[in-house]
Chains A and B, each alone.
Chain A
Amino acid sequence: MSSNTQSSNKPSTIDLVNKNLAKRYRAEKRFRGYGIASILFGLICLVFLFTDIIGKGYTAFVQNYIQLEVQLDADTLGISDINDPNQVAMANYMGVIKRSLRERFPEVTGRRDKRKLYALVSNGSGFDLRKQMEADPEILGTTQSLWFMADDDVDTYIKSYSKDGKVFTGRTDEMQQGWIASLIEADQVESRFNTVFFQNGDSREPEQAGIRGAIMGSLFTMLVTLLLSFPIGVAAAVYLEEYAPKNKWTDLIEVNINNLAAVPSIIFGLLGVAIFIGMFGMPRSLPLVGGMVLTLMTLPTIIISSRAAIKAVPPSIREAALGIGASKMQMILHHVLPLAMPGMLTGAIIGLAQALGETAPLLMIGMVAFIVDVPGGVTDPATVLPVQIFLWSDSPERAFVERTSAAIMVLLGFLIVMNALAVWLRKRLERRW
């Protein structure tokens, strides 16, 4: 009986466990909850950022056009010989557009009012008309019904008109709003997909501004970065993994690489200014120089991920290759590198994605200039997407707000595509040993 009393006095282990079990399960649930909560927090931030950007920027992908009956008579244009390209280039296109506006609203008389009227269409309409004239000289002397881009203020007004009840008048006044209403009623306003945004370089007129220049600039910069950083990074990784003897020098290289991966990017900008521009005398604002600075920045990332990929190739493969008489170089080139390639490519893509979104070092080397011409090569002055975003965000014109967000969307699109590519590569080509 004694044992019986003992057990009733002292709870058995199983009882202890059972007593605590509910508490432990609660703790388990709580812990899981923390995990889910922190993931949700991250995802909510992501969604919040995206809705913020998209909400501000989606309107930039459409642009309102105004239809006008333009009489292209040679006298007003000042073209006496259509075959003279100089005359065609210098003709008074804005004059005919202004006249057609006056004809559309004949009641406008005062000088001030006329100016307001002319402000309905884009300042760059003359250049657009010139392009049409150059493409098709036959239209000289005819009357054409043509679509012109609306001015940025007008465009913003019309968009806010359709977006929600709150109308943003901005710099348009009541008279202009009256004209716009009359144009809308007559179906002479049309909103189209904003192709200009993808075709033009930067411009000070929001409706004429596009991201093509920045995209090409980014492309050339990334090209330089890829061409330099991938081969060098892979070579360095191969050396460190396969050849490097264990000594102080190797240690130094390793510490350096790991450290450079976490050096603030702005410091690479300082380096670019001092070495490439100061010492080598390269001009400012070139994708080539930008690409070289970004190469130095991404190199550590690529080296580290390439090393990881090389390390993941099992030693048995190396031993097998060496065992049947391959030299070290043959072993590396024929066996290790092909097997490590997916991992290295993934690293390269992630490094490039990081470089694509980088702003601070490029601010230092003069890629913040206003550049209208779309660059044609690595040695044309250019700017890149993130810098373009930075520049537009500082422009006074209201219509640049939506364009800034739209440019961010394009940049994010590129980044997501690159990251998705990396994930896909990793999944598709990765081998488990």
Chain B
Amino acid sequence: MKKTLLTAALAAATLAGTQVASAARDYITVVGSSTVYPFATVVAERFGKGTNFKTPNVESTGSGGGLKLFCNGVGQEHPDVTNASRRIKASEVDRCAKNGVNDIVEVLIGYDGIVLANSKKSEQITLSRRDIFLALAKDVPNPNGKEELVPNPYKTWKDVNPALPATKIEVLGPPPTSGTRDAFAELALEGGCKSFGWIKDIKSQSKKAKKAGDKKLSKSLKKKYKGICHTVREDGPYVEAGENDNLIVQKLNANPAALGVFGFSFLDQNADKVQGSLIDGQEPTFDSIADGSYPVSRPLYFYVKKAHIGVTPGITEYLAEFTSEKAFGPEGYLTEKGMIPLGDAKRAQVAADVKGLKNLSL
């Protein structure tokens, strides 16, 4: 009888396997940014409970990974929605178009602040973006004032700025695979980098070259500029701590001398353990991020494949749920999870665009 059982089990497995492969999908699949993930999952859950549709399946793959899966084509094996913690790039739109994904609806849902925080056991720190750049960039302008780059010589915060404490520079942050790191480099490092006139000049030269039609020069200058401003040092003070923000918070708690880089929602939930550092005189709070005075915040988006609307059941309803006042409004449930809402006018416009399924235009 053993043999029969065996064959039966094998056959059953094959049967089940093949049936899965051919069944049509009746739930929405969402991929993308790990920053938007906590918000998308709340909406997905409420959508699943509040309607007769199945709960969407949300996977966190990172912004770039999500857009890649999203742009792979139309059809049930490709996701319907992707979340991103940055805007879609022209290169990605091209890639989408090449694979037949032509009509995309873009939805801006709100903002997320990136904070530099340390344990409450030590003093709150006040930094400028210039300090952050000097402390964390790979190459920095020569401290003697010459307009040249030297490998970052700074070991303690005091070296960077005499007003700061004499503790070792130790910043726990996300690895380069993370969108948070990209945004941090773009907003904080570049912000400080630009404060050096001669570096900024490189960028304006690049623009000039572009105007003059010298694309090659423009590109190489731009590359040089970004190379200076976005490259994070690799000699120790910046510790890549993985994608798990909770772990960073707990490591900060265990190591009061270190600073950590993570999303505002984690600061919000762990306010008893960690405190946000002031950047350019602004403390990261709900209000300062919402009104734009806190400099390090980034927009959150999601993108929907228009070709899937009407094919995968429930996409329009999911869109409506996400852009309803009770979700992304200033009093909505997403703000409770730490998302910073858009202004009233902007929100109304987004809601209207979504209703009309306006196509993405860069």
Contact = CB atoms under 8 A, between A and B. Distances in A.
B48 A282 contact: no
Interface in A135-173: 168-171
Given A282-B20, A284-B59, A396-B246, A171 B45 contact: no
B269 A171 contact: yes
18 contacts: A115-B331, A119-B336, A123-B333, A127-B49, A285-B59, A288-B13, A368-B59, A369-B57, A370-B57, A370-B59, A371-B57, A372-B45, A379-B16, A379-B23, A394-B247, A396-B270, A396-B337, A396-B338
Nearest to A234: B2
Contacts of B44: 370, 372
A192 interface: no
A170 B270 CA distance: 7
A403 to B, nearest CB: 13
B21 interface: yes
A169 B55 CA distance: 33
Contacts of A235: 6
Contact of B54 (A224, A373, A396): A373
Interface string A385-429: 000000001111110000000000000000000000000000000
Given A170-B271, A292-B13, A337-B2, 4 more contacts: A228-B13, A231-B6, A369-B58, A393-B246
B334 to A, nearest CB: 10
A13 to B, nearest CB: 61
Interface in A4-32: none
Given A127-B49, A366-B59, A370-B58, A288 B16 contact: yes
Interface in B233-273: 243-247, 263, 265-266, 268-272
B77 interface: yes
For the complex of A and B, 6 pairs with smallest distance between CB atoms: A370-B58, A372-B55, A369-B59, A370-B41, A231-B6, A396-B269
A265 to B, nearest CB: 19
B246 to A, nearest CB: 6
Interface string A269-293: 0000000000011111110100010
B38 A396 contact: yes
Given A171-B269, A204-B41, A372-B44, A378 B16 contact: yes
B320 to A, nearest CB: 14
Contacts, number: 115
Interface of B: 2, 5-6, 9-10, 12-13, 16-17, 19-21, 23, 25, 27, 37-38, 41-42, 44-45, 48-50, 52, 54-55, 57-60, 77, 243-247, 263, 265-266, 268-272, 331, 333, 336-338
A100 interface: no
A282 B21 contact: yes
A280 B17 contact: yes
B272 A169 contact: yes
Contacts of B21: 280-283
Contact of A373 (B9, B38, B55, B272): B55
A397 B37 contact: no
SS class of chain A's interface: helix, strand, loop or mixed? loop
B57 A285 contact: yes
Interface in A295-315: none
A227 interface: yes
Given A280-B17, A379-B20, A395-B246, A371 B77 contact: no
Contacts of B270: 396, 398
Contacts of B23: 379
Interface residues of A, number: 47
Nearest to A203: B45
B13 A395 contact: no
User: Which of B52, B337, B338 has the most C-beta atoms of chain A within 10 angstroms of its own C-beta?
Assistant: B337
Interface centre among A203, A333, A366, A372 (most CB of B within 10 A): A372
Contact of B37 (A366, A370, A371): A370
A381 interface: yes
A199 to B, nearest CB: 14
B246 A373 contact: no
Nearest to B52: A89
The residue among A292, A333, A371 with the most chain B CB atoms within 10 A of its own CB is A371
B336 A286 contact: no
Given A282-B17, A379-B19, A372 B48 contact: yes
Contact of B268 (A89, A394, A396): A396
Contacts of A285: 57, 59
B48 A373 contact: yes
A427 to B, nearest CB: 26
B20 A283 contact: yes
Interface string A338-381: 00000000000000000000000000001011111100001101
Contacts of B45: 203-205, 370, 372
Contacts of B2: 231, 333, 337
Contacts of A119: 336
Given A280-B17, A281-B21, A366-B59, A231 B269 contact: no
Contacts of B244: 393-394
A286 B246 contact: no
Given A204-B38, A204-B41, A369-B57, A398 B269 contact: yes
Contacts of A123: 333, 336
Contacts of A205: 42, 45
A232 B49 CA distance: 42
Nearest to A114: B331
Nearest to A367: B59
Given A288-B20, A396-B246, A396-B269, A224 B57 contact: no
A310 to B, nearest CB: 14
Given A285-B57, A370-B57, A396 B265 contact: yes
